[in-house]
A and B are shown apart, each in its own frame.
Chain A
Amino acid sequence: MMEFQPIKVATGSSDEEGRLVLLDGRLIAVIVRLDDEAHGAARGQWSLEAGFNGVDSVKPPLFANLQSAERWIEMQIV
């Protein structure tokens, strides 16, 4: 089961609103919402900040919402 726990992330920017993504109680990813105005059109989307155990990409996509983040993370761990 995948859970999203709210967490503040120190990114050195206005992008603070984050989620710890847990799979069966284990941390599998950290995602952050892009709130800083410097992100322009990408504002409001979620960005992968860290991933574990294969949840990784040199160029991860941005996620419109937590559901699409969940779908993408699931694909990485299969």
Chain B
Amino acid sequence: MLDAMLAKLEALQPLPEEDKKLLHAIVGKGRPIKAGDPITLEGEQYKLVHVMLSGHACRYKILADGKRQIIGYLVPGDFCDLFGFLLDRMDHSISALTPCEIVELTEDDVLMLTARPMLARALWWSNLVDSAILREWLVNVGRRTPDKRIAHILCELLVRLQTVGVARSNGFRLALSQADLGDTVGLTTVSVNRALQRLRRSRLIVQTSREITIPDVSALMAFADFDPSYLHFRQDRDEPLQPRQEIA
């Protein structure tokens, strides 16, 4: 179950064998969370860092009138709150969208991991990417048409899920309902429905229930103005793919 986490971190920063062993020793077994159950709640204090081993979750904020804005997706291998133990109180909530397996790390665990230079780099990268995704989402919600907003989110999910080995080369199982998608990109369920219909009609996606197939991935990416470089996976970076020399 650690595979996704290793795949995610190594997509950002290659890790020496000793670091992988340390990760195995520290992370251990996850605990199951039911779909819909909270992982962390806004306003609460957590001394533990949550890491997704499997399943899908989302970050969100609930407004005073009960409306929800989803502000992030968490897929296998993602850290929910890498330095969250520093916060007095969580400023948003996280809930499971599907059955999840999560692991809880203590501050000491995280300090042990960040004491290893390559692991520290991988974790910093992962934090930088979280911010980059948020910037991209802001642009998406503020400046793209409904069809492109949905298409962009589907492209991002495809790449992120492929990186951790839970997507096919041209599709994946969507863990989100139309209401979830609407709360992500600021559209009503009716608008999401019509956007998905238009994407289907133009054959940019094929959808059977929650199963999304993308017949021509580059066509969908071009339609959505999706450039995967904001995810900073090494395959899309300019630097060579071989591991860096470990600092002595």
Contact = CB atoms under 8 A, between A and B. Distances in A.
Which secondary structure dominates where chain A touches chain B? loop
Contact of A11 (B182, B186, B194): B194
Contacts of A38: 193-194, 196-197
Contact of A59 (B67, B194, B196, B198): B67
Contacts of B189: 42
Interface in B189-217: 189-190, 193-194, 196-198
B188 interface: yes
Which secondary structure dominates where chain B touches chain A? helix
A47 B182 CA distance: 15
Interface residues of A, number: 14
Contacts of A47: 188, 190
B190 A34 contact: yes
Contacts of A58: 67, 186
Interface string A24-58: 00000000001010110010000100000000001
A13 B194 CA distance: 7
A58 B190 CA distance: 12
A34 B191 CA distance: 11
Contacts of B196: 38
A42 B116 CA distance: 54
Interface of B: 67, 182, 186, 188-190, 193-194, 196-198
